[in-house]
């Protein structure tokens, strides 16, 4: 019996018992005692089961000019009073009508709570009255009745859902922590494999995001960079429970949100209370380039993006004396090949001299990685502060200001910048061979490492000298600033 079977079995046990709390220990199934799963609260699930079902009131005559995306529930131009009469006081009954006051505008008339509710109805390929969009009117009405019923019956309950979350109390993961930690953890000095075996991949898939979080929290080798969850509205197939408050996620579609990086499933209102502790799952990270920096390092459990480590290691091994290092460009198609190799093979990507004898291809791939970051190494939030610091005329005050702004960078960005500056300092130490000093490298890396928040060519051109100066200062003073 795998973990999902255990969890699902316990869901059914709780629901069939009709309670939101477990019974006595003697009544619990043996596997529930052993695994101690979270107590998924069944109250909202039961309310959804009790919600009125939609009852379509069919028009007995053929209506002229009926929109092709409406069915026999469309009754043409009728008044609110006529609609109310047609519904006949039947809970869940509904019709569609065209407005008398605004021809060409359509209304859903729905009977709920002993009254007729009228909603302006829209269609853009899908039907909607609010944010949610539905394939059919029947699904729209079903979801609406569920939402109306639950929010009417459990308004106070819903308002207090976040007051006693299970998120910080996930004892059911205890027995899995050691096993999962062995699979997910890696020594800081040991290369981490990007491609897991089929057995490992399957096992990891069976572990919920909460279990992964618990395992990683207890992993001594895990780099504890703070990361916000990347929540997006999600439609869940079949019953789902919120992994923050343990309550049922009601409705037919868009019942909640899912973190696209770690897979955490929560109510939209609960997402505002979830801590910034996202632990990205490797199987959800589709590529290396163009991936958020913090997301990548947390997914791979490394201090810095492995692209940076591997490229710098290769450059320092055979390229520090290469003339025009970082200034001279490699062939674009070969640089793209390196990018594809990292996206495809991760740490197994071969960028050795046997494959890419021109070191400028490797430097080009590293610069491309930094340019492709959705949030630059020097983040949008700190950009203006760095530019302001560069404008300070007194050298000592300018250095102090740069140091203060460095402290505002996210930890993963700070560590990546620190490591890069140490490397670029080594490049300048070989200036007699490569002809690259701190100023030259500042010209190359200024616009690569920092970009203005607004996409303005004028701002970029105006700030270029300050971008160059910031990178030059970071290289020349890396031992002091970091």
Judge whether 67 and 74 are in contact, CB under 8 Å. yes
Same domain, 344 and 430: yes
Query: Which pLDDT does position 447 carry in this prediction?
Result: 94
Backbone torsions φ then ψ of 189, nearest 5 degrees = -95, -5
* Structural domain includes residue 41: no
Q: Are residues 374 and 426 in the same domain?
A: yes
By the 8 A CB rule, do 316 and 310 touch? no
Residue pLDDT tens, the chain, 482 long: 333 343 444 344 344 444 443 333 344 344 334 444 457 888 999 999 999 999 999 999 999 889 999 999 999 999 999 999 999 999 999 999 999 888 899 999 999 999 999 999 999 999 999 999 999 999 999 999 999 999 999 999 999 888 888 776 543 233 333 433 443 444 334 443 333 333 333 333 334 555 444 444 444 444 567 888 999 999 998 889 999 999 999 999 999 999 988 889 999 999 999 988 888 888 888 889 999 999 999 888 899 999 999 999 999 999 999 999 999 999 999 999 999 999 999 999 999 999 999 999 999 999 999 999 999 999 999 999 999 999 999 999 999 999 999 999 999 999 999 999 999 999 999 999 999 999 999 999 999 999 999 877 888 889 999 999 999 999 999 999 99
In a domain, 49, yes or no: no
What's residue 256's pLDDT? Answer: 94
The dihedral sign for the CA sequence 371, 377, 378, 380:
positive
Q: Can you give the CATH number for the domain in which 251 is found? A: 3.30.60.20
Q: Do 59 and 142 have their domain in common?
A: yes
> Residue 294's domain is classified under what CATH number?
1.10.555.10
Q: Is the domain of 271 the same as that of 323?
A: no
361 found inside a domain: yes
Q: Are residues 311 and 371 in the same domain?
A: yes
Range of the domain at 435: 288-481
Q: Is residue 182 part of a domain?
A: no
Cβ atoms of 304 and 415 closer than 8 Å: yes
Q: Do residues 471 and 391 both lie within one domain?
A: yes
321 and 437: one domain? yes
Give the chain's domain count. 3
Q: Are strands 115-123 and 256-259 parallel, antiparallel or unpaired?
A: unpaired
Helices 359-372 and 306-318: crossing angle, nearest 10°? Answer: 160
Q: Which of 119, 135, 159 is the last residue of a domain?
A: 159
Q: Are residues 112 and 235 in the same domain?
A: no
My answer on whether 413 and 378 are in the same domain is yes
């Amino acid at each position: 019996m795998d973990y999902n079977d255990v969890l699902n079995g316990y869901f059914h046990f709780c629901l069939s018992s009709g309670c939101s709390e477990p019974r006595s220990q003697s009544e619990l199934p043996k596997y529930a005692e052993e695994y101690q799963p979270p107590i998924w609260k069944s109250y909202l699930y039961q309310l959804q089961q009790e919600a009125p079902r939609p009852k379509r009131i069919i028009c007995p005559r053929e209506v002229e000019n009926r929109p092709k995306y409406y069915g026999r529930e469309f009754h043409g131009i009728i008044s609110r009073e006529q609609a109310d009469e047609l519904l006949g006081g039947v809970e869940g009954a509904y019709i569609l009508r065209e407005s008398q006051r605004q021809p060409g505008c359509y209304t859903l008339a729905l009977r709920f709570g002993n009254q007729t509710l009228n909603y302006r109805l829209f269609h853009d390929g899908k039907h909607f009255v609010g944010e949610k969009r539905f394939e059919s009117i029947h699904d729209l009405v079903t979801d609406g009745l569920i939402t109306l019923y639950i929010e009417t019956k459990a308004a106070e309950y819903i308002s207090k859902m976040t007051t006693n979350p299970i998120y910080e109390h996930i004892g059911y993961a205890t027995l899995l922590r050691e096993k999962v930690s062995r699979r997910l953890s890696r020594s800081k000095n040991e290369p981490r494999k990007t491609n897991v075996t089929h057995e490992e991949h399957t096992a990891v898939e069976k572990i919920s995001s909460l279990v992964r979080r618990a395992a990683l929290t207890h992993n001594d080798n895990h780099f504890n960079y703070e990361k916000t969850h990347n929540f997006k509205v999600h439609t869940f197939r079949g019953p789902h429970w919120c992994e923050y408050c343990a309550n049922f996620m009601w409705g037919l579609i868009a019942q909640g949100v899912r973190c696209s990086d770690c897979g955490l499933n929560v109510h939209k209102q609960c997402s505002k209370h979830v801590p910034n502790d996202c632990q990205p799952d490797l199987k959800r990270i589709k590529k290396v380039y163009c991936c958020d920096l913090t997301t990548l390092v947390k997914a791979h459990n490394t201090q810095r993006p492995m692209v940076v480590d591997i490229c710098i290691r290769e450059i320092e091994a055979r390229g520090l004396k290469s003339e025009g290092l970082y200034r001279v460009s490699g062939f674009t198609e070969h640089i793209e090949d390196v990018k594809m190799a990292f996206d495809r093979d991760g740490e197994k990507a071969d960028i050795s001299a046997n494959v890419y004898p021109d070191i400028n291809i490797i430097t080009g791939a590293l610069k491309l990685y930094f340019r492709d970051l959705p949030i630059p190494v020097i983040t949008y939030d700190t950009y203006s502060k760095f530019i302001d610091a560069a404008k300070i005329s007194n050298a000592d005050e300018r250095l102090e200001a740069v140091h203060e702004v460095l402290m505002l960078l996210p930890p993963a960005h700070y560590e990546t910048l620190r490591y890069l500056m140490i490397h670029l300092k080594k490049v300048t130490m070989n200036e007699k061979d490569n002809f690259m000093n701190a100023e030259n490298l500042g010209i190359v890396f200024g616009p690569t490492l920092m970009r203005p928040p607004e996409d303005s060519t004028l701002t970029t051109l105006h700030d270029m000298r300050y971008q160059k100066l910031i990178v030059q200062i970071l290289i020349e003073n890396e031992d002091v600033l970091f």
